[in-house]
Amino acid sequence: MEIDKSQKILVVGLGLIGGSYAQALSDQGYEVGAITKEASDLQFALSRGMIRHGHTQVDGDYVGGFDVVIFALYPHVFLQWLKDYQHLLKPGALLTDVTGVKVPVVYPVQQMLRPDVEFIAAHPMAGRECCGVVNADKAIFNDANYIVVPTAANRQEAVEWCKSLGRVLGFKRISVLSAEEHDQMIAFLSQLTHCIAISLMTCNNSHHLKDYTGDSFRDLTRIAKINEEMWSELFLLNKEELLRQMDIFIDKFMLLRNDLAAENVTEIKNMMRQSTANRAYFDQ
């Protein structure tokens, strides 16, 4: 089963990612509607042709008209939305999301969901330092990875459908992971990197740093500009995995620190050679 243009698509939550989904799908010729809290966001999306219509309130007749619903909400808002409004969904509707953690989202959602609709989870690995629909830009998907996260409750057709959605959105690489694999991987690749950037950026509060910095510090702290509401929620939802990854990092960092203190040049060089070799896979 592939996504096709007979399927009417509802985006719930017009932020950076929801807006970029809406833009990409509308530009491909899909009929896209939206429900979002702020009238100004709706107005912006309408004026830019990202959506054909929309509401700021949840309207039963409106929600029931969509074959596909994409949730681009904070995790706790997403769960609450389903509790309050899942009875409004069209029978047979396919639901998907963009949430950055999966175990604490996909299992509760599938457990509470009506049996006549299906939720297939996905994570678009794309973002920007600036948020909101006014910064939406489908181009952020072009060089990015898209991960479909099925469980035993999903039909294979739904997995294929979700992969085709990733292709239509323009993602470069589409993968499939279990919720557990996803959360472990995301703790390392994304949440740990944000913890590092936050820590580094708060080590020194001088305003003069930028006069002396090279590219390396700028690169390592780009993501230190962070939406604290969203990221603190994601960190806590994936607490155990993130703590595990933070501890692995601390061990490696302390190894380097102690080799430096002891002037173990051979060990320091070995670690640098290993990091150079590992990094080379990213340049292929």
Return the residues of window 100-159 that contact a second copy according to CB under 8 A. Answer: 125-127, 144-145, 147
- What would the DSSP string read from start to end of 149-172? E--TTS-HHHHHHHHHHHHHHT-S
Tell me if 83 contacts a second copy by CB under 8 A: no
Scanning 1-9, 37-45, 155-163, 240-248 for contacts with a second copy by CB under 8 A, the matching segment is 240-248
| Helix (H), strand (E) at residue 121 | strand 121-125
Instruction: Report whether 119 contacts 151 (CB < 8 A).
Output: no
Site string for a second copy, 19-38 (x = CB under 8 A): --------------------
Tell me if 250 contacts a second copy by CB under 8 A: yes
Q: What is the largest CA-CA distance in the chain?
A: 71
Within 16-152, residue ranges assigned H as helices are 16-27, 39-47, 60-63, 75-85, 103-112
Sign of CA dihedral 42, 43, 44, 47: positive
Contacts of a second copy in 252-271 (CB under 8 A): 252-257, 260-261, 263, 265, 268-269, 271
Scanning 5-13, 29-37, 154-162, 233-241 for contacts with a second copy by CB under 8 A, the matching segment is 233-241
Contacts of a second copy in 171-200 (CB under 8 A): 173, 175, 177, 185-186, 188-190, 192-200
Identity of the residue, 54 or 150, whose beta carbon is nearer to a second copy in the bound complex:
150
Identity of the residue, 118 or 233, whose beta carbon is nearer to a second copy in the bound complex:
233
Q: Which of 47, 57, 156, 229 forms a contact with a second copy (CB under 8 A)?
A: 229
Count of CB atoms within 10 A of residue 38's CB?
12
Instruction: Report whether 192 contacts 241 (CB < 8 A).
Output: no
